Structures are given as C-alpha cells and as structure tokens.
Structure 1
Amino acid sequence: MDVLSAAIAAVRVGQPTSNRLRAGSEWCYRFAPYEGAGFHVLLRGSGWLLPDAGPPVPLGPGDAVLVPHGSAHTLSATPDATGAVPFETAVADPAGRTEFLCGKYRLSRARRHPLLASLPEVVHLPADVGRHPELRAAIALLGSEVSDRRPGSATVVTGLLDLLLVYLVRAWLAEHPGTGWPQALRDPEVAAALEALHDHPEAHWRIEDLAARVGVSRATLARRFTALTGQPPMAYLAWWRLTTAARLLQDTDLPLPSIAAKVGYASQFAFSHAFKRRFGVAPGGFRAAR
C-alpha cells in the first residue's frame, strides 16, 4: 500500500457526506469544529472562507478548499463573519448566483497519520487552468451526482468523495515538494522504506535490514528518515503497528492473537501492553467502544 493511501485508510471512520447548495446575494454560514476533515468547492460565484485562526481566504469559481483538521470556520459572501448561521439551517435559494459543494470526512484523531497532521489548517487550491486535472474531473462528476440523484448515486458519491480527498491531499503535496512529508515521499530510499514498513508491519524489522533493503547505509537511512518524517524508522514502525492494530480492532472481528501477529507482536500480552500504553485502554476495551 502506498503511504498516502495507508494514511487515509488508517484514520477513516464511517462514510463521508456532501451537500450542494445555491445561495442568494447575502449569505454567511458557520461550520462548528468536528472530528474529521471538511471540504468546500465553489461551483459558481464568489465568496470567502474565514478560519477562526488565520487570514480570510478569497474564493472564486472552481476553487477547492480542504479543512483537514476539522477546525471551526465560516463561509461568507463577504470577508466578515458577523451574523453567521449554522450551515445545517441553510435554506437554498433556487435563484441564487452562488453555488457551492460542501462535505465532511469522519477521521479518527487518535489514529491521525503524521502526513495528514502536517497539513496546514486550510488547504486552498485555486482553479487555475491546467492544474490538477484529476481533481477538476472529480469535482465535476461529484457536482453532477449530488445535484441529480440517479440509480446507484449513493455508491458513486461515496467513491467520488474518497477520490476527492486523495486528490486534494495529492495536489497539496505536489505544490509543496521541498519539505517534510512531501519530500519524504519523493526521496527514493525514504519512500521505499516507508512502503516496506507499511506493507509488512509484521516483519521482524531491524534498522540494518531496512537500510539494506533500500540500498543505503544504516546511518544514512536513519538520518534522512528522521529529518523528513520527524521520527526514527523504528519509532515510526512501532507507531504504525499500533495504529494498524487500532484500525483492525474497529473494522474487523479478528481475534486479538491474530491482530497481534498481523502487526508484529510475538504474544498477545506484549501487544496488549504496548497498545494500552499508546491508547490508554486495553485492546478489548478499545474494540468494545467502537
């Protein structure tokens, strides 16, 4: 599994949702904080996204915005949030000149991948001609499906929303290639090491084995991996094993010994001890709370 797919799969909870709304000349909608990520696409007209912390973001037709950490914010016709009403109370104006597509992804903060944690509070992707054609295609298809419910639409919309999240994050990574996680995914050896750990968390990895697999010295891999991801390779592996275990506990009915083996623990006792230290609750309790 590639790293971005793994990062999203690790945190996804439930199904995403979306709404298409047409608004009149004066509109101002408030979005409360939530555990997940939100997005907005301005299909026509103009407006502003007003983060609670940060400068206003002007929006034009075709602009896409991702709010990756579920921060509170406002969408408004003007750069002023005064008089904002909850988005849930919005009433569509069929004659309105502004139309936008909004949605939410439910994502677990407890399992948040550092790649996603590294995203800024607001990811703004202007609709420049020729940039990110896959993102534009997904937006066009999603807008069509949401406005014209046809047979199979529920399945199509869910799939398009998943695609949209990948394309939004991918577009941001492409526009910030020189630092942190974007650079890690472009570094051949670090990216290869990440994929090896993601593909085989159950393996009995040692730093020297991982370095040999990707073709660099142990010291070189440790230095570059830590500099770009913020963690040494073996610390990242320990985190990824427990994050994968948490997902398996919530999404499957596999017995605890099987999950322990799948994520590289020799015994259920060792797994349970490590899991409780990381999440503050034993695996059985974590599963019961799903």
Structure 2
Amino acid sequence: MASEHDYLSETHIIGEDTHQWIVRVDDCPALEQRHISHVGVGDAAVPYRIVRTRLSGSYIHGSLGGEGRMLLDGRWRTMRRNMMSFAPAHGLHAFHAVPESRWQYCWLRYLPSAPRSVVGTIAPIMQHFDPEPMKHAILGLYSEVFHGQGDTASCVMWVDTIERYISRFADPWRRDPRIVAVFDAVMPTLEKHWTIEEMADIAHVSTEHLRRISLKVFGRSPMQQLTQLRMQHAAHLLATTDEPVEEIAVRVGYQSPFAFSKTFKRMKGVSPSHFRHHSRE
C-alpha cells in the first residue's frame, strides 16, 4: 500500500460543482491571533481533489454528510458523516470526492507557527465526532466577515468557539493526568528505548490498564502512540533540517537506519529521502 503513494503530487482541484465558504487569515485578523490560516465549509463533488505532500500546518477536517476519501496516517479511508480527523504538519495528506456522491465537510488549517503545527504529543487522529457545531461556528464567522459589520469582538467570539470545539476533539488525552505524565516524560526523550513497563510505572497503573487508557484516548496502544510520535518528529526534522537520515534515526530511537526507513515508509507512505525531497520543492 505504501508504494501506491509515490505517484501523488501536490494537487488542488476544486471543480465547478463544488461550493466552499472560506474565511482566510487576510479576511479576519482574529484568525492570525490564533495562528489559523483559514477555516471553511464545503459541499464537494468530483473532480474535487486535494493532495498535500508537504503539509506545512496541521489540518482539522470534519465530515458532515455524504461520502469522501481521505489519505491519513499512510492509508486511504472512507469519510462519512460525523467523522473528524487531525493531520499533523509535515505529513502526506490527501482527500477527494467520490463518483455519484456529494460530500459535505468543514475544516480548519493552522499556520506553521501554530502550537498545533509544532511537534507535540498529537499524532494523526481519525475518529467519530460530531463536527456540526464547528460548521455553525465557521458559518457564523463567515457571515460576520462578509455579510455583517466585521465586528472584531464578534469575530474573536466565533474563532474562540471554533478553537474550543477543536480542543474537545484533539485534546481528550489532556484530561487524564496519567497519560499526561507518561507523554510529558516520553516526548523529550524519543531516542530512549522505552518499554510499556516503564510507561506504566510513570502512570502508576498496570501495563494492561495503561493499554486500555491509551486505546480510549488515542485509539492506539502506548507503544503504537510512541512510534507515531517518533515518525512525526522524524518528519519534522526531515522537513526543517539538513541532518542525515542516519542521525535522525538515532534521534527518534532507531539504531538501524534500515529499520527506521522501513517504519517511516510504512507509516508515512514514502521513504525518508522521498519525503525530504518533496518537502524542499
């Protein structure tokens, strides 16, 4: 499956039958204050297709109805009503409409300077979550900017509502101090040979209980989440530094460059060198 992504190139096709309501940072200073590039609501049909081979800022996408396809975390998935996703910066990300089906959605794109675009404890997320409130907040902002008075206080209110709702989707792990303690310790030391026993000791729970907690908040086991974070950090280093792949492998816990490259390609869809090449284009 990973090799199927090699043919993808930067693409931005909207099409005459796709309609979008977008507020960009140039339209609304309140977005810039929150490091948001743009927000929008859309109703798409074929040939709508977006491919980002070097996503510079993280991306939130909510499916409101109909059906579309999304490439996230190295694999294609079907997006239907009440599904939301988070794509970290520096990753390969793509989505498109499918024949004989319209697709309704809303989204938020962060600037590269946003805290959510910087390497952190958020790995790719896709799960069931109702994006309807996010849609209404975006349309409220759109109405104020383009059909209202552009009142600054009102715009700030709408942007704050959007951000707070996204926090409910993207940050559930922050409400569990055990998970916070574990990944606050893990993130600065990705090069360490972590075991689940060490993580469980930090959380003061059994290894099995830590697995259950991690699956609930991340949809992954603790070790799978660790691998995600390592690959996310590796992608950041590949995109923003000239460090050799061998050194990056060591910095994220791999003594073998071959093992690192194999894991990176499995999870990102392309090899480290291919990823770096596209990120510098």
Q: State TM-score, norm by structure 2.
A: 0.49
Q: State TM-score, norm by structure 1.
A: 0.48
